[in-house]
Amino acid sequence: MRDVAIIGTGMTKFGSLGRVTSRELVTSAALEAMEDAGVASSDIDAVYIGQLSGDIFEHQMHAAPGIPDYLGLPNVPSTRVEAACASGGLSVMHAIMAVAGGFYDTVLAAGAEKMTNLPTTHVTEALSMCADDVFEVSLGVTFPGAFAMMARAHEKEYGTTAEMRAAVAVKNHDHALLNPKAQFHKKITIEKVVNSLMIADPLTLYDCSPITDGAAAVIVVPWEDRKKYDGIAVKVRSFAQASDTMSLHDRKDLTGFTTTKIAAQKAFERAGLEPKDIDILEVHDCFTIAEIMALEDMGFYKKGEGGRAALDGETRRDGSLPVNVSGGLKAKGHPIGATGVAQIAEITNQLRGTAGRRQVPDVEIGMTQNLGGSGSTIVCHILERGD
């Protein structure tokens, strides 16, 4: 197995982007990543694209070949990866495995979603198809409803309060103010979060990530080839994936995800690292409770202490463990297929020292956690600053 480097990143603005296709969004992000890396189109050996549902959102199946088509990459193999909200993270993981295994030398991994074409009710219905249709969706369970049950369970077991969840939203909105490509540039308060519109009790409007358009891309090459290109290289230390039951009722505990525990543990073991070695994190905060549970399940906090950490400011950009400095899904936005790629792009840029006003000083090792469905799929990556 070869060591692997990420040498280029690209990302569109996230938000409601009007009359544009996901294919055009990926093209924009990919060209930015290729320019950043100093990679020519003729260098690209393969493409992996994370996308949830071009068929529902854009009436377009078989989306993968459209990417090399628009990029002018004739006959380059292109593969779509779908794992609900973890589609993007898995597209990068497959690109890394392809390069590590020697199948390809220069791979474009990207993710995109064009979601705002549909009304909110239709988007909610489309997203619910990532849960168990037999036992949950058919009975009216949506993702806000599923994560509301988790929030209640966490509240009952550990005393996690609405103010603790709100602190996650406030922090991530503050971080997004420093990210020009984030969907929201709006400062909020704990009071505003707690008193906003109830979506699924106890989760309010500001506990939930938005509907978003956008794309992100990274360029992956063998570590030994990194100096052939212009891009500042970041080393892939490890990655891991885990799967769980589709239905929540088949799980023993609703206060966290076994998948996150397993994927994080495997990633740490493969990297020869521990949670204390990680300097910066991007985790999947589709709902505020999800960020709290992720940090506990990954081993950064004991169960029940993640909410207090947010309230005490430990996970802020200037705290002891910076989390979601990009703004997270909550404020940067959540275009499903792009999310996991955007997480990796953010950690890459932080480790390179190229994150602009939101740069965290002296970071050496970063980690991502990308979640699919109600935790049925988790993928984690650990990256390290290069030479």
Cα–Cα distance measured from residue 378 to residue 20, given in angstroms and rounded to the nearest whole number: 30
Catalytic hit among 85, 130, 208, 286: 85
Could you tell me how many helices (H) and strands (E) the chain has, helices first? 13, 11
Catalytic hit among 130, 334, 380, 381: 334
In one letter, which amino acid is 227?
Answer: K
Supply the DSSP symbol for 386.
-
Angle at 348 between CA 94 and CA 178, to 5 degrees: 130
Instruction: Give yes or no: 334 in active site.
Output: yes
Cα–Cα distance measured from residue 9 to residue 185, given in angstroms and rounded to the nearest whole number: 22
What lies within 8 Å, CB to CB, of 219 at 6+ separation is: 6, 7, 8, 9, 33, 34, 36, 37, 39, 106, 107, 108, 109, 229, 231
Q: How many CA atoms lie within 13 A of 366 on its CB side?
A: 29
Tokens in use for 16? 């409601």
Which residues are the active-site residues?
A: 85, 334
